[in-house]
Structure formats: structure tokens, C-alpha cells
Amino acid sequence: MDEKKFRAKQVYEWIWQKKARSFEDMTNLSKELRQKLAHNFSFPALKTDATQYSADGTIKSRFKTFDGHAIEGVLIPTDERKTACVSSQIGCSLSCKFCATGYMDRKRNLDYDEIYDEVVLINEQSEKMFDKKLTNIVFMGMGEPLLNYRNVLKAIERVTSPDGLGMSPRRITVSTAGVAKMIRQLGDDKVKFKLALSLHAANDHKRHEIMPVNDTNNIKSLIEALNYFYKHTKNEITFEYILFNDFNDSIEDADELIKIYRQVPADLINLIEYNPIDFAKFTKPSEEKVDAFMKHLEKNKVNARLRRSRGKDIDAACGQLANKN
């Protein structure tokens, strides 16, 4: 465009560091150059479309993409942490039976800049509401991150880059329903972030019933892939396990879970309370059952934590994201 080289650097800084939402925001460029950029380029920034506030402090946002699709992201605040839960796809193709997003069609993958924008917008919320920047990011929103592999990795590269948001990759966790081939790819790419596997059932028969992805990614293949990932990265691995009443919450289920835990260098099992959704038949186990399950894991020297759901009153909790108002 016959402009001086340093102008490109200025534009780059506005996009990735100063979080501009349009060319008009780039105030150290001349009006003429801003008009020229607007004429020659599009700026498909994500926009906040609606915000809901939970009684427990959780904030859910619906974001609109440039082509009119909606996705959801959640800010989960505690005293020590401010965590962004971000989406990687518009809808999801995996059809997990307990997850609201699983009942939606997958429209498309999010581009890396859209995922980056989610983090930026949730970070701005955190600074505004709590006067603190984000401390953690979890890819546990809508979609399967490992089926949008390149965009997720590129978004994380931008988020962790010194000329992006400069966050430590150790504070980022990517959660997968279990795509063995791509878990191995993470190992080959020697990624620096943590990995969480949504297990939710400790044998193939039960897992197949609630997670169709298990048809082509059985538990044995996932154990092998996780060991491969750990061997190549030494990164933290967590198992996620939602407790469903009379389905996967018996002491026998706990014993099967312990067997899997002992075959992988996993750091932790996150036990998650089930959050009911309109389409699914599952219910939550009693507190006594949850307590017995947890105690059995602890008795067997398993590092387990019960994760209480946040934002249930605004459908912002685990498994509830479905673009409902």
C-alpha cells in the first residue's frame, strides 16, 4: 500500500495487543490510512451479544461471529483464580448424550482469531468486574477442541505469545472427549499446555452408550495415546468424570476408574456433579453416593477432587452451553 514499514507493526499491535475492534480504533494511524484499511480489508471481530450473571458470580456471555452464528463463553471467578471457559466450535459433532451442545449441529469450526477474541472479551470482563486479569483458560466450552486442531493451537500460540496476551501455557487446559490420534499429535507437537480427558465411564460398554466417539476411540486406545502424550511432553493430565445416578456411580465403577487411573501418569481425577439438561434422561446421584464414591477413590490412594458446578442458574455450568437465552 506504499506505506512505511512501521505502519504494519502498528496495525499488528492494535490487533493482537491493544485489542482493537475496528480500524477506526487505531488512533495513531492517519484518518486516511484507517479509511484505506477499512476499504481494503475486513475486520471480523467477535462481538458480545448477551451477558448473564449468576448468583455465584459466574458470568456467561453469548458472542456473535461475523457471519451471524452464536457461541458461549463463561467467566468463572474464585478468590484465587479467574478462569475463562471458551468454545472451539459452533455446535459439536460428537453427540455426547449428557451435554446440551451435543444436541446441536456443528455449523463450523471457530477460526483462531475468534477463539482469541473470546479470551480477550472474557479477560476484559474480569478486569472490569473483579479488577483482575484472567489467571486460567479451559477449553471446555462448546465443541471438541481436537477436531479444530490447528485453530486451537494457533489461538493458544497467540494467547501465550509475548506480543499477544503473554499468558503461560501451563495455565491453559484443553479438554477432549477422546480423539486418540490427535492426543498423539499433541505429543508430537510437544505442546506446553495441560490435557483433560472427559472419561465419564470406565468401561467401553457404558462409555459407548453415552459417548459415540468411543466407537472409534476405545479406552485402551486412549490410555495408549495419553501415555504417548505424557512421554513426549511431561504435561499434566486430568481425568474428568461426571457422576450419573445409577449409571456410573457404584463402587464397582470406582474400581474400574482406579484401574484406568493406574495405567496413566494422571495428576488428578475431577469428579463433576451432573447438571441436568432438557433432552437427557440422566439425574444426579445423592450426596451419600457421591461421598462413598469419593472416599473409595481416596482410600485407594487416588488423587481426586469433587468439582462443584458454577453458574447452574444461568445454564453456564458444565454440559449446559446451548445458546439458550
| Active-site annotation, residues | 72, 318
Mapping DSSP to helix (H, G, I), strand (E, B) and coil, where does residue 306 land?
Answer: strand
Compute how many other C-beta atoms are within 10 angstroms of the C-beta atom of residue 213: 22
Closest CA to 88 of 113, 109, 59, 119: 109
C-alpha cell at 245: 445416578
48 Cβ contact list (under 8 Å, min separation 6): 61, 62, 63, 64, 121
Q: Residue 150, exposed/middle/buried by CB under 10 A (0-12, 13-18, 19+)?
A: exposed
Distance from first CA to last CA of the chain, Å, rounded?
Answer: 44
Residue type, 8: A
* Polymer length in residues for the chain: 325
In angstroms, the CA 320 to CA 43 distance is 31
Where do the DSSP E strands lie in 145-193? 172-176
Closest CA to 175 of 208, 122, 136: 136
> Could you write out the DSSP letters of every residue in 269-292?
EEEEE----TT----PPPHHHHHH
Q: Is-contact 296 288, C-beta < 8 A? A: no
* CA distance readout (Å), 17 to 9, 128, 158: 11, 18, 10
To 5 degrees, how large is the angle CA 56–CA 62–CA 67?
A: 170
